[in-house]
Chain A
Amino acid sequence: EVQLVESGGGLVQPGGSLRLSCAASGFIFRSYAMNWVRQAPGKGLEWVSFISSTASAIYYADSVKGRFTISRDDARDSLYLQMNSLRAEDTAVYYCARDGAEVATPYFDNWGQGTLVTVSS
């Protein structure tokens, strides 16, 4: 069974930093591209970032480009999101999501339960 477990969320002041982690199990992590998707309170889903299985391709939403960094550690079956220069509008539940596409454009076939990030003074 595919499992994705996020951690690292919490309360942070504007301008601060936070590092999210996603522990994967139940599948061969190194074979899959991964994503972060977020959802602000009461709002819809917003794609944040993508990393390919080999980390050779990395993409970001314009809203986080230059502030967030996605990475992976295949030895630890883990995905990360380093978030710097946080803003109030980054407040959201952050989901780790596996890419279900093998060769086609990405989609999200398995999701974690999410971790809440609150940016507030």
Chain B
Amino acid sequence: SYVLTQPPSVSVAPGKTATITCAGNNIGSKSVHWYQQKPGQAPVLVISYDSDRPSGIPERFSGSNSGNTATLTISRVEAGDEADYYCQVWIINPDHRGVFGGGTKLTVL
């Protein structure tokens, strides 16, 4: 089965840059999507198709994907960015299924 591996936690000071990775076998050949989930709330899409920002998502959020690692980058981190972040891909072989990474807790110091 296809596995996506994220670091359990990332800490960053306000105003600095946070980098959250998502590792998977040849993930660069797949489309990666990222979701933000704050406590007690539903997930929110923050990046689609590796690097596209949905409307309403600040430009501080960006993404990239190459080789075996996809990356979510949050620039000029704010206290309100503290949340869990999940990467996601869709697998079609041998069966169609959605796959999420285990999630990364972003802590703003």
Contacts and interface: CB of A to CB of B under 8 A. Distances in A.
Interface residues of B, number: 28
B99 A45 contact: no
A59 B95 contact: yes
A59 B31 contact: no
Interface stretch (B16-24, B67-75, B86-94): B86-94
A109 B48 CA distance: 8
Contacts, number: 67
B43 interface: yes
Q: Which 5 A-B pairs have the closest CB atoms?
A: A47-B98, A105-B90, A107-B33, A111-B42, A59-B96
Interface of B: 30-31, 33, 35, 37, 41-45, 48-49, 54, 84, 86, 88-90, 92, 95-103
Interface of A: 35, 37, 44-47, 50, 57, 59, 61-62, 95, 100, 104-114
Given A105-B92, A109-B48, 6 more contacts: A44-B86, A47-B99, A62-B95, A95-B42, A108-B35, A111-B43
